[in-house]
Amino acid sequence: MMNQRQPIVALIDDDKIFQLTTLRMIQAARLAEGILQFENGEDALTFLKDNTDNTDTLPDYIFLDINMPLVDGWMFLEEFAIIKEALKKDVSIFMISSSIDPRDVSRARHNENVLEYISKPVSREKLAQLLQYQPATVSFNLPD
pLDDT single digits (tens) 18-53: 999 999 999 999 999 999 999 999 999 999 999 999
pLDDT at 137 > cutoff 50: no
Identify which has the larger pLDDT, 140 or 114: 114
If we measure between CA atoms, which residue out of 121, 83, 118 comes closest to residue 104?
118
* pLDDT attached to residue 66: 95
b/e for 36-57, b at 16 or more Cβ within 10 A?
bbbbbbbbbbebbeebbeeeee
SS3 78: helix
Identify which has the larger pLDDT, 64 or 141: 64
